[in-house]
Amino acid sequence: MSDELKRFLDREHDGITTFDFDGKATSCIIIDEKKYDEMLSKVSGQSLSINTDLNILQDGLGNVFVEIVLEFSKGNIIEKFLVNAKTHLAFFEHLANTSMLALSSPKSQYGKENIFMIQLPRPEKAQNALE
């Protein structure tokens, strides 16, 4: 295993899933409950935008990871999640199809309660990450 692959794997976020939202498979990132609650308390009830960047990282040996960067316009929040594109291909397929990303805590019932939904402002980024 290359040193670069090891660094990617050490940073990989393990809370990657999908769930059914209004009949559509939707990509979801599970965040530590305390961090999720702190994030919501900073932005709840406010009008805000979220800049979403998908940075494609490769190790030169065929391993591809996508760093998802969410920068909130309020609350001074920047979150980064590294996702293994090979093992979570469905996550990116659904992200490209719906242009929706959900954030949730481990205790939430996905698709039912306490879900923070983000509409991607530039859906082509998800399509580019998929390709």
DSSP state of 61: S
Tens-digit pLDDT string for the chain (131 aa): 788 888 898 999 999 999 988 899 999 999 999 999 999 999 988 889 999 999 999 888 888 999 999 999 998 999 999 999 999 999 999 999 999 999 999 877 655 678 899 998 776 766 766 66
Total tally of structural domains belonging to the chain: 1
**With helix as H, strand as E and coil as C, how does 91-127 read?**
HHHHHHHHCEEEEECCCCCCCCCCEEEEECCCCHHHH
